Structure 1
Amino acid sequence: MQLYEDDTAGESRQTAAAEDGVVRALSLANALLNRPGGLSREQIFDKVELYRARRDERDRLVGEERKRADAALEKLFTHDKERLRSCGIDLSEPTSDEDYRYRISRSQYGLPDLQLSAAERLALYRAKLLFAHNSIAGLQHAVWAIDPDNDDAGSPRVPRALQVSLGSEAEISKVLDLAKIGLGGAISFGYTGRGRHQAETRRVIPLGMGVLGHWYLIAHDLDRDAQRIFRLDRVTGTIAAIAPGSLSEPETGRVRQIAQKQSEQALDVARELDRSAERFAEGDLAAGALRAHQGDAPRTLPKLTPRTAGHRREDASAKTERVVNMVALLLARDGVQPSELLVKYGITAEQLLRDLLSISLVTTGEFPDTLDLQPFPPLNDEEFVSEYLEADEPIILRSGGSAMDKPVSLTKPGALSLMIALKVLSAISAPEEEHLAKAAEQLQQKIKTIVPEAIAQAADSISLGHRAAHRPALGAAQHAISGTYALSIIYTDISGRQSTRVIEPVQVIYDGPHTYVRTWCRTAQAERFFRLDRMMQCTALPDEPQGPQSAALFLTDSNGPQAPVTDDSVPVVLRFSPSAAGQAALYNPVKQHTEKSTGARTISTSFVTREAVVRTCLDAGGDIEVIRPVDLRAEIAQRVRELARCAEV
């Protein structure tokens, strides 16, 4: 659908339009909600403009053309009904020849009241703060949908753990895809294993998911008839459910057998991930690094272009679900700033503009169904950003019937992120906040009653762990944070330099595959972030209380650990193998290029020292290769050979 402007000189060109499918589905829901007695199919087609236009076009045809047009219209209507049902809206079909009306019950519309206790409301608020910068879209909406007054529920205390990121966008997208399908059934996907240059199709039965540095899927591989672990940033293409009829009889039996076993005893995901980490030897990493660097570097580089944020293509149901809930938020409030909508739904300015245009066209031409959106957004993307978003004037939505003023769901991304946030909150709560952990667990059980079964099942299967070797350092940091005292640590930085420091831990920060402790460093007399796996030794100093600097730091926001770029920084060009392309974003690329044939990614970035580059490539085991400078590439190959000779002595 397009909103047309007069072709007047000086006016901006229209670059944005409403989305027909979203407009149709919302108009259908609005019309039925405002008519408790229901509407027949023909009455719906009369009232909803986009159906009426299709019907009128059909009526001008004859013969086979008319039959095809009628079938297409019916298919469109069926898709729109299914979109609404996938949002959690109970749209009932006519029950008999006499009762030929479609209905949506006002009393059944919207989420039920979960009757939250004060402790559960506080847990919800703290979970929102904990994941304030979470990669999964929809968390902010999910919190509002469960408890619209939650903004006022918090305590003045800042959380002692700040969840900056729980993985790359690619990993989080795959987690959501798996959650939508659910566990226990057979699925297929492309997978690029370590050291491989092409993806191969894997057919598996998902058993559980977990985080241990990266997101992993533990599954039974049907073709190998054995359990395997897959790193989700190495999964490529679409994750698709395999139809039962496509499986052989033995494979069908295996699916049933595994489902029965899972119902009797859940898989210990944390233990499986720990065992997997222990099996990977350092020699394998060194051999991989040597293979990647022993040949000559490419003589020419691919064309590197500035990195832009990639955005996942949404399916029609996800768009509809988001906009239905956005309508509820706008109707329930006297005004909502565009900036809040961007954050709450985790969308781009481009998508917000199309959502607002879609909302503005929800009407049947009759008073109860009219939605009036003010201020009306411009139809040009650049003007929307430079004028509408810059002004950030509250958006007001008025309705004659106000029938859509309740959220209908948490949205699937929001439901999953909230379940994960509450699970993390339970795991990291300090001893004196045991009541908060208990409330978070109780709230998880309540939320399971209002989310799709596949989402609840996936959330239950997720393990959020740390490598066993890192847990003593994490425990020491958490106790120092809780007790507000200092720690003495021996720390090895990215360049391999070791130092002894006295720190005052303030927060634990989870940043993708790494965990950091945010501190006031007495040695440096400044804020510093220390990576958990580089803290070689921790000694508690309970008789040395934290000072005013850490207290002030505790009350300030943080952007997380940032690698400084100085005149002494080492510029490099790195190539990430196809199996590690998803990690490239973690290294602050300035420019990048992705090979279409393999998926490998080349980036330009910088490191603090040459030694930092060498160690990064050695730890990557061949997944990260230095292309420029050439002498640094040769240095890495020489270092690996020296390590191999030392190991033989």
Structure 2
Amino acid sequence: MSEAKTSRLLNLLIALLHTELGLSRDRILRDIYGYDPAFGEEPDDEDPEKVAVLRKFERDKNDLRAMGAVILEEQGFERWDSTEEVPKYRIDPKGFRLPPQQFTAEESTWLALAALACDDAVAGADAQRALRRLEAAGALPETPPSQVQPRVRLDPHWLALTDAAARGAEVTFDYHATSTGETRRRRVQPWGLGQRFGQWYLAGLDVDRGGQRVFRLSRIRGNVAVGEPGAFAPPEEGALQRALDGLDAVPERRARLRIAEDRALELRRHWEPRGPGPAGWDVGDLAYRDVSFTAERISGFGDAVVVEDPPELAAEVVARLRGALDALGSRGADEVVQIKPTRKITSGQERLERLMDLVPFLLGGPVTVEDIAERFGMTQRQVTQALDLLQEAGPIDSAGFQSYIEILVEDGVVTVANADELARPRRLSPGEAVALQLGLKALLPLAGREATDALLRLADRVGAVAVAGGQGLPQVDVRSEPQRNAELIPLLSSAARAGATLLLRYINPTKDEVTERRINPLGLFSDGDRWYVNSYCHRAQARRVFRVDRIESVEPAEPLPLPDGFEPGTGSVFMRGPDDVEVTLRLAPQARWVESSYETEDGRDLVDGSRRVRLHVADLAWLPAFLAPFGGAAALEGPPDAVEAARAWLVSALARYGGATPTR
């Protein structure tokens, strides 16, 4: 979008907000588009110049609607002495502007934490914009406590699908069905998205098959094509939840497993032992519902676990192990060639939305040019351009005189006046509201029973201040699966705030051993549906991260101080060490979440949509157990010794199922 169009759209928005009775089409064409027939001439709708201007007007209305503006078209008299009614246009300010907001200190902290929870490439920008707008409307989020960092992991297709659901647009994509092993094109009317078993699902009407279907997002191959908005009516309330409840209604099944003695300690906590098996093995049953999810889990134990029954689960485990093996050391697609150094391209919609968000920020001043640049991620040159655009905008009276927005920059401090139409922040977009709601629901494990209802009410309040026009909030159903040791999360959080020392008994899954650790919890963070405690471990004399569901027991211990100069670092599943091995991974689109969750480096785009990244690993024995559940979606490219170690691990695991697999 050119600066000329941005300026025109901004003036059109101001004009439609400023009028109470509406503006006629001819008045808008004169004031905003400069189309004014010579005095005494009757406007001719067949005039090529007017036809071109009218097309531009229609496009501009659609652009404003895409940003949440509800443009009302009503019949009325253009002037007091008019004898004929004409179409008149206006925007209802109540439906466009964000109402004043008041939040308690606790609610403000929750909102700030919620924005951090979605701070990723998929929905992070939406969450931060929503937070800034609520702040401008009266909410003053405090800096969130560093001890708590929830994270919501979203699928790369999240934005396209939620936007399509909000707009009532059909979507088309290629879908891999594990039940048949086939990948087919699907055309779906999306109702919304929900989380089950740590995975995201799309529910909607399968147009070609004529029935309700649920699709796991990680099985979508390639891009999602989005059709025209308004193609179908919104589903009835609760349709998404009922569709996803069908996943929960799948009857519980039991798998017969064989586990090597003194191994897979983590899995043993979830099965029912049936006694000894062949020499060196124990036999038992594991309850499950979803074959794919369970196969992911079992494949990570390698040759320590064998599925004896049912055959379909065993086949799925074998497929994942073989997929990981086949991908080992493979070259993958070529890297995308960058002709020029990449730079962020600001879209026209982003530019206009930023202008609308800038004015309330300026009115809350004093604000410097540097403050604006930092707040909105702009260069100082971009700030100057934005201020120049604002100075060219303002309401136009019936005589054609424009009252411009006044911008004054003095000693680097920016002040604004005569900007009443933009003084209030606009309502949240559906994407912004949903991103913040997701973050709030990610806090539920920390809230305790008393605060849970308050958090859910706050999420409803966020939804209530979203735009209510051509877009509605897509249905989103987030369910945190019951997690072992969930009751420890508030306890560990309190210990982190108090600086206490705790004694843990903890399962190390890589070494299949239970160790005792004295730790000082530094903070809690989540990644997907798992919670972790970031700690100083006195046994290792270094920072360590422990997964909460692997804690066997916890009790208070004699207080121990942190060493002088200790840096707690950031909440991350991975930590660097001086003896780490650097490996190269190739991540298919469904595995690209690894890049942000595991602090990878040097990410490079490949022509097939994958990413090549570098990862530092403390123990190569951990790596194949990490790769196996992906079934090849996360491929180890090098170095050679890491590839060979992973190959030996995977070959040994496959040999348990009777398949002779070559090592090369």
* TM-score between the two structures when normalised by the length of structure 2: 0.70
Give the whole-Å Cα distance in 1 for the aligned partners of 2:488 and 2:10: 53
Is 1:425 equivalent to 2:443 in the alignment? yes
Please say if residues 167 and 511 of structure 1, whose CA atoms lie closer than 8 Å, have aligned partners that are also in contact: yes
Query: In the superposition, relative to structure 1, how do residues 545 and 35 fare at CA in structure 2: closer, same or farther (>3 Å)?
Result: farther
Aligned to 2:319: 287
Given candidates 461, 481, 489, the residue that maps to 2:476 is 461
RMSD of equivalent CA atoms: 4.9
Given candidates 539, 542, 548, the residue that maps to 2:553 is 539
1:262 partner letter = A
Is 1:187 equivalent to 2:197 in the alignment? no
Aligned to 1:362: 393
Is 1:231 equivalent to 2:217 in the alignment? yes
Aligned to 2:644: 634
Aligned to 1:112: 99
Question: Which secondary structure state, in structure 2, belongs to the residue aligned with residue 410 of structure 1?
Answer: coil
Aligned to 1:331: 363
Please say if residues 426 and 438 of structure 1, whose CA atoms lie closer than 8 Å, have aligned partners that are also in contact: no
Give the whole-Å Cα distance in 1 for the aligned partners of 2:441 and 2:350: 24
Given candidates 521, 535, 547, the residue that maps to 1:519 is 535
Please say if residues 186 and 206 of structure 1, whose CA atoms lie closer than 8 Å, have aligned partners that are also in contact: no
Aligned to 1:170: 156
Aligned to 1:447: 462
Please say if residues 506 and 553 of structure 2, whose CA atoms lie closer than 8 Å, have aligned partners that are also in contact: no
Query: In the superposition, relative to structure 1, how do residues 566 and 44 fare at CA in structure 2: closer, same or farther (>3 Å)?
Result: same
Map of 1:382-531 to 2, 5 A cutoff?
396-430=414-448, 434=450, 436-452=451-467, 457-458=473-474, 461-466=476-481, 468=482, 471-482=483-494, 486-492=502-508, 499-512=515-528, 514-531=530-547
* Larger RCO: 1 or 2 (CA < 8 Å, sep 6+): 1
Offset, 1:238: 3.5
Is 1:570 equivalent to 2:581 in the alignment? yes
Is 1:208 equivalent to 2:173 in the alignment? no
Unpaired runs of at least 5, structure 1: 2-17, 246-251, 377-392
Question: Which secondary structure state, in structure 1, belongs to the residue aligned with residue 116 of structure 2?
Answer: coil
Please say if residues 148 and 524 of structure 2, whose CA atoms lie closer than 8 Å, have aligned partners that are also in contact: yes
Question: Which secondary structure state, in structure 1, belongs to the residue aligned with residue 393 of structure 2?
Answer: coil
Map of 1:23-172 to 2, 5 A cutoff?
23-34=7-18, 36=20, 38-48=22-32, 51-52=33-34, 55=35, 67-96=47-76, 97-98=84-85, 101-104=88-91, 110-113=97-100, 116=102, 119=104, 122-132=106-116, 134-135=119-120, 136-146=124-134, 148=136, 152=140, 154=142, 158=145, 161-163=148-150, 165-167=151-153, 170=156, 172=158
Is 1:616 equivalent to 2:636 in the alignment? no
Query: In the superposition, relative to structure 1, how do residues 71 and 41 fare at CA in structure 2: closer, same or farther (>3 Å)?
Result: same
Question: Which secondary structure state, in structure 2, belongs to the residue aligned with residue 137 of structure 1?
Answer: helix
Please say if residues 520 and 535 of structure 2, whose CA atoms lie closer than 8 Å, have aligned partners that are also in contact: yes
Please say if residues 434 and 473 of structure 2, whose CA atoms lie closer than 8 Å, have aligned partners that are also in contact: no
Give the whole-Å Cα distance in 1 for the aligned partners of 2:317 and 2:381: 43
Aligned to 1:248: none
1:478 partner letter = P
Give the whole-Å Cα distance in 2 for the aligned partners of 1:617 and 1:592: 18
Question: Which secondary structure state, in structure 1, belongs to the residue aligned with residue 553 of structure 2?
Answer: strand
Offset, 1:173: 2.9
Give the whole-Å Cα distance in 2 for the aligned partners of 1:629 and 1:639: 16
Offset, 1:397: 4.5
Offset, 1:634: 3.5
Percent identity between matched residues is 19
Give the whole-Å Cα distance in 2 for the aligned partners of 1:98 and 1:623: 63
Instruction: Name the count of aligned residue pairs.
Output: 579
1:439 partner letter = A
1:328 partner letter = P
2:650 partner letter = V
- Bigger strand share: 2
Query: In the superposition, relative to structure 1, how do residues 444 and 332 fare at CA in structure 2: closer, same or farther (>3 Å)?
Result: same
Aligned to 1:385: none
Q: Deviations over 1:488-533 (max 9, x none)?
A: 1314266877643133434321235753212233333444322345
Offset, 1:142: 2.7
Offset, 1:463: 0.9
Query: In the superposition, relative to structure 1, how do residues 213 and 104 fare at CA in structure 2: closer, same or farther (>3 Å)?
Result: closer
Query: In the superposition, relative to structure 1, how do residues 167 and 265 fare at CA in structure 2: closer, same or farther (>3 Å)?
Result: closer
Question: Which secondary structure state, in structure 2, belongs to the residue aligned with residue 131 of structure 1?
Answer: helix
Offset, 1:76: 1.5
Give the whole-Å Cα distance in 1 for the aligned partners of 2:196 and 2:412: 39
Q: Deviations over 1:156-188 (max 9, x none)?
A: 98375322x322583553464355346xx8532
Query: In the superposition, relative to structure 1, how do residues 269 and 313 fare at CA in structure 2: closer, same or farther (>3 Å)?
Result: farther
Offset, 1:37: 5.6
Is 1:559 equivalent to 2:570 in the alignment? yes
Offset, 1:414: 2.3
Please say if residues 620 and 645 of structure 2, whose CA atoms lie closer than 8 Å, have aligned partners that are also in contact: no
1:72 partner letter = A
Query: In the superposition, relative to structure 1, how do residues 318 and 275 fare at CA in structure 2: closer, same or farther (>3 Å)?
Result: farther
Please say if residues 289 and 637 of structure 1, whose CA atoms lie closer than 8 Å, have aligned partners that are also in contact: no
The answer to which of 308-317 and 400-409 deviates more is 308-317
Question: Which secondary structure state, in structure 1, belongs to the residue aligned with residue 648 of structure 2?
Answer: helix
Map of 1:297-316 to 2, 5 A cutoff?
297=329, 302=334
Query: In the superposition, relative to structure 1, how do residues 72 and 235 fare at CA in structure 2: closer, same or farther (>3 Å)?
Result: farther
Query: In the superposition, relative to structure 1, how do residues 465 and 360 fare at CA in structure 2: closer, same or farther (>3 Å)?
Result: farther
- Bigger helix share: 1
Q: Deviations over 1:464-510 (max 9, x none)?
A: 424x4xx1233324334346662413142668776431334343212
Query: In the superposition, relative to structure 1, how do residues 242 and 152 fare at CA in structure 2: closer, same or farther (>3 Å)?
Result: closer
The answer to which of 74-83 and 210-219 deviates more is 210-219
Unpaired runs of at least 5, structure 2: 77-83, 251-287, 300-313, 660-664
Please say if residues 578 and 600 of structure 1, whose CA atoms lie closer than 8 Å, have aligned partners that are also in contact: yes
Question: Which secondary structure state, in structure 2, belongs to the residue aligned with residue 369 of structure 1?
Answer: coil
Offset, 1:309: 12
Please say if residues 189 and 201 of structure 1, whose CA atoms lie closer than 8 Å, have aligned partners that are also in contact: yes
Is 1:599 equivalent to 2:609 in the alignment? yes
Offset, 1:407: 1.1
Aligned to 1:262: 239
Query: In the superposition, relative to structure 1, how do residues 336 and 171 fare at CA in structure 2: closer, same or farther (>3 Å)?
Result: farther
